Amino acid sequence: MPNKFEKPKMSDICTRSFNKYSARAAEGEDNYGIIEGVPIVFEQPTDIGGWFEETIARGAISEDVLKDVALFYNHDLNTKPHARTRNKRLSFSIENDGVHMQASVNLERSDSKDFYLAVRDGDIDGMSFMFRVESDEWTGLDTDYPKRRITKIGYVQEVSGVNYPAYEGTSINARTNLSLDSDKQALDSARATLLDSNDEKRQLEIEKLKNANRMKLGGY
């Protein structure tokens, strides 16, 4: 398993952000502030770059993959985390609708205080997470808009408070080209399993769809 806070290889790390829930801040113990949110949402269809629809299945995540997770701002792994599960300042609970988070941040740290105040004032109101998919199911791979259902998340690298949690009209955040490329690779890999060397027509159709995906990526 890779170091949790190294820059991830985007070939197998995904970033997802939902706007159905907001990050919230409340007063905690002396010199600490409480930040709560739902970074992972179950059973919510999400458009991924216009390439496919994705849903995280209820039951796709276990407590084992949440044992060493840190809280950042905007996925900036080059900064100190604001809270972490192993120091008992970050905790998760798996509920029916998704994974709920509560963090206790040190307000004597200027960066954590700024983060807390921005959440409290509503300047930061989105939650996001980085993770690795261990297993998934695809349907409609021979169409131009297949569906992916994530059935198991292998581990969660981190969770973040984010400025812009969603594209307009969708439930996925604006991601970098590298992250979008990771999503495209996942789709191409799934389609490759359908290729039958004896079925030239199907192979040609899938190659057309892959070429269309490359054109979409070039447009970002």
- Residue 122: the pLDDT is 83
Two tokens, residue 30: 């002396």
> Nearest CA to 71 among 125, 5, 2, 148?
5
Encoded amino acid at 55, one letter: T
- Residue 7: the pLDDT is 39
- 16-27 in b/e burial notation, b at 16+ Cβ within 10 A? bbbbebbbbbee
- Residue 210: the pLDDT is 60
- Residue 93: the pLDDT is 95
Query: What SS3 class is residue 8?
Result: coil
Per-domain residue ranges of the chain = 14-218
Beta bridge partners of 129: 16, 159
> Nearest CA to 89 among 116, 114, 110, 62?
116
Indicate the DSSP class of residue 170.
S
What is the sign, positive or negative, of the torsion defined by CA atoms of 39, 40, 45, 46? positive
- Residue 13: the pLDDT is 73
- Residue 66: the pLDDT is 96
- Residue 51: the pLDDT is 87
- Residue 197: the pLDDT is 46
Which of the residues in the chain have pLDDT under 70?
1-12, 18-24, 28, 165-181, 195-220
